[in-house]
Structure 1
Amino acid sequence: MDQFAGVSGLRINASKSSIFAAGPNSHLLTHAVWRKTDYEPLIDQLRKKFFSWTHRALFFAGRLQLIKTVITSTVNFWSSAFLLPKGCLDTIESMYSAFLWSGSPTITYKEKTESLWVAWTKEYLLKDSSYRDVREGTLGSWAWRKLLKMRSLALDHMRHDVKDGRSTFFWLDNWMGTCRLLDAVGERIRSRGQRQYHELYDKLDMWHVPCQDAGEDTVLWRADNDECKAYFSSAKTWNNLRDKRNEVSWRKVTWFSQAVPRHAFQVWLAFRDRLSTGDRMKNWGIEQCCMLCGEKNETRDHMFFACPFSFTVWLNTAGKLFGNAITPDWNDTVSSLLQQAQTRIDHILRRMAFQTVIYSIWREHNSRRHGGVWG
């Protein structure tokens, strides 16, 4: 509370304040460390409710609605009185997930062999074909048709480890580790043959012959540094596909775990100077002065925080956090934010205040410009 008072200037009046203890088993408020037996009544209560619904033919939407209403209200009631430990919350989350996907709080999603969507896709969309050779058509959703158009990109990140050879196509799959055989020789191999592709012939001669006792073929996915793994990682695949650039110094001011997403996105636009300020509107043939103070030349640096209106908001919000270091200059403000504050919480509050003020000022700017509303 002292830290809160030091930042906000607000202090609790002890003579006008009272403390009340409420909720089930209020004696647990005196426990320094929760044991499993302390929160077991809550787990048992939730488990009984889950089991009372398992005999009903509930669809996914019905199970989700029960979790959102009945189960969540019970957990919130306990959370209003106690600070539930991580072990308790992890157990509740596990039951959530198990009941949502399987209809039972004890059967986890990992124990299910295949999702309903995958089974439906194989039966209705793929039928007797595979993702590699199924024809594009009007069946399936927009997302499915988009996946079909990206087949060439997906196949570039796949490689087959041949063992028994039953699920690998000789011409169409990349089992050599470099490319597909059809892409290497084309469709005119019969007219050219060994005379032109003698190196490929030599490589094929040295390749091991599939054996039925070797096990099933394995699909490998490209990971870091073109190394292939037997599992698919969306994060590593994205890193292989995305356009990589050098990191910018202001990234830690924009993206951090405590940031509000919509505030962070607005700050990201401001750093890239992509907000529709007056100087950018001139390129579209539109004259626009500052909507906050009337300054003729409205730029990003003017709005944050050279504008008298915006600097007043910035000063009143973050003045105690920055002290004498607070300034209306954009570059100086960013430099101050990149420097480590005295404490970790001050460093977080500085960045959060910066993002909140930018977001609020830009909303005020747009409300005056589009709706004529003055906050």
Structure 2
Amino acid sequence: MAAFRLPRECIREIDKVCSAFLWSGAEMSSKKAKIAWGNVCKPKTEGGLGLRNLQEANNVCCLKLVWRIISNRSSLWVQWVDMYLLRGKSLWTATQRTNVGSWIWKKILKYRDLAKSFCKIEVGNGTTTSFWFDNWSTLGRLFDVAGERGIIDLGISKHSTVADAWAGRRQRRHRVAILNEIEESLDSQRRNRKETNDIAKWKGKGDTFQTKFSTKNTWNNIRLSSPKVPWHKGAWFAHATPKLSFCTWLAIHNRLSTGDRMMKWNGSASGNCVLCRNNIETRDHLFFSCSYTSTIWAAIAKGLWRARYTTDWSQILVCVSDQSQDRVESFLIRYGFQATIYTVWRERNGRRHGETPNTAATLIGWIDKQVRNQITTIRHSGDRRYDMAFQTWLQARA
């Protein structure tokens, strides 16, 4: 993708393969997806898994090729492009309807409209800056401002550089206000002329222009962003266990195959909770309004949560996403929350498939062991910030 604009059908097929593998593993079933691939590819802060959208990534790579043509005059590839494809003209004036160049060259040319808003030139001697098509003045690209008529009225050739516009002409007065503004901008630039090379700049973070191309900032500028979700810190945090975080992420999106959702797919399916057998199994009931799971949740969470303890799902999400808590306590709250969700969901699935039921005390023991093992793993990793985690956990469990 760094060298070619991939066909869109190719990208769609790759996305299908990736999606099938994510949701079904080696089985590669395309029918088991729980969340749309577009949402999966959103950043974690926006509710996704942080996987990169291939089409967006390919667009960024093609924009980088445009950037190289504009900025890297010493590159052998850019020199070849300039000699055989552009033939001394500006990239912005090259025509797409030509037999010159390959398929990928024609695709690169299609990215120029997108690249226009990203590129800006800091004029030095003006010898490499297109007067009409580079963004060098405070008015923007002058061709967009004045059009074909402006070329005639100003008497400056379509292929002129800024240095060419400076040479052999003086400022004129025009009846059209925008032409006078162009004349003033040109004269101002002439007075500030330097004997250094022109410098190409690319839009970075915060709409500031920099001399380097940033893949991350360009991606953030071209993609369609979504609002940040308030719960992402509760799902993704340092030293989290991926399978627990993934299960929690599905639960937050309400995409676990709970009884109420199964009834929507199959009207004859039983939607009753297999743990308490008293209510329809919804996400909010299972975590943690069910009499069976509430016992487990109380044993794990009450000592840590204290006055904040609740079995209401929305309130739990608010608490686990709170970033103002102590680091160690916050980790234990989040990790205990995720371990409980995963263990309860595994028990629920086991009962649905006829396995021997386990008591609440057994599940509490499993969760306790999971948390202790993770604390030990952190200690062996050398992260001293969590040295008090074991003591805090034991006090909460006492």
TM-score, with length taken from structure 2: 0.47
TM-score, with length taken from structure 1: 0.49
Higher relative contact order structure (alpha carbons within 8 Å, sequence separation ≥ 6): 2
